[in-house]
Amino acid sequence: MLLLILITLLWAFSFSLIGVYLAGQVDSYFSVLTRVLLATLVFLPFLNWRTPKRTALTLMAIGAVQLGLMYLFYYQSFLLLSVPEVLLFTIFTPVYITLIYDLLARRLSWWNLLVAAIAVIGAAIIRWDNLSGDYWKGFFVVQGANLCFATGQVAYRQFMQSSHARSESLPPRQTFGWFFIGASIVASIAWLMLGSPKYPANFTQWGVLVWLGAVASGLGYFLWNKGATQVSPGTLAAMNNALIPAGLLVNLLIWNRDADLPRLAVGGAIIVAAVLLSERHARAQSSP
């Protein structure tokens, strides 16, 4: 779980960086393309070009959904919503994770659903106030991002724990480049079809894109997906909502945006409780 916590802290800055420096100022499709291409370059030197075709294609498909499609929805949402609203609408990701995981396993785990529901309640407490006029449109755009992110996490976790992946015994760093290549294909098509010549106008915007691409995406998604294979589905679902209090704190402390600190504290405590509850249950289940 340590990896998920570290990446949560890393990603907490991403929401505000996008909302403050990129949204409405740089073409969203160009931002997505730049971000995934930089992430691809980070892992390209480690890529094993002799990776079995099935593994390469599977990772490309997962990357296309979890990162490529997700980013297309995600960056569009900042044109419709404020940073806190985008954070708020991500509260449904844990529900999608548990439902998709159980659907693939052909069962319904009420425990995982309960943990996800507790995390959702904690996130909802943090900020549920007056919303902009683009509420419904923005809501559905964010849900598109949530579904893509949830599907990718579950698919990667399932594939890496499958007998096929274990039998190949290739280190993840030598295969994860395929994940970003899949995302780059989707981002390239979207930019060519829908992009506009609205590029970064200053060093700060370029610097934000480099940070988001090389560090937040390149390093972040590799470690997050690795961490996803080391925890229970319930914990993975709950940890997705830990981004909300972290992101709001960064938005408040650095960019001086309004936030209800009492609700932030209460909601954050509930999310932490959900994670601890899931971890305790997972340990109990694994004990002889």
For the segment 230-250, what is each residue's pLDDT rounded down to a tens digit?
Answer: 888 778 877 877 887 888 788
Per-residue pLDDT, averaged over 270-275, amounts to 76
Residue 241 · residue 271 · CB < 8 Å: yes
Which two structure tokens, joined as six digits, stand for 248?
A: 């709001």
pLDDT digits (tens, 9 = 90+) for 172-181: 888 899 999 9
Cα–Cα nearest to 246, from 50, 29, 11: 11
Residue 93 maps to a domain: yes
Residue 36 maps to a domain: yes
Range of the domain at 59: 2-280
Residue 221 maps to a domain: yes
In the block, tokens 């290549």 appear at: 181
Separation CA 115–CA 198 (nearest Å): 42
pLDDT digits (tens, 9 = 90+) for 126-144: 656 555 566 678 888 998 9
Helix, strand, coil distribution of the chain in percent, nearest 5: 80, 0, 20
**How distant, in Å, are the alpha carbons of 50, 70, 145, 152, 239 from that of 148?**
28, 5, 5, 6, 16
Residue 28 maps to a domain: yes
pTM tops 0.85, yes or no: no
Residue 55 maps to a domain: yes
Specify the number of domains making up the chain: 1
pLDDT score, position 113: 73
Residue 285 maps to a domain: no
Q: What's the count of helices (H) and strands (E) in the chain, helices before strands? A: 15, 0
Separation CA 112–CA 222 (nearest Å): 24
pLDDT digits (tens, 9 = 90+) for 82-106: 787 788 778 778 878 878 877 877 8
Residue 286 maps to a domain: no
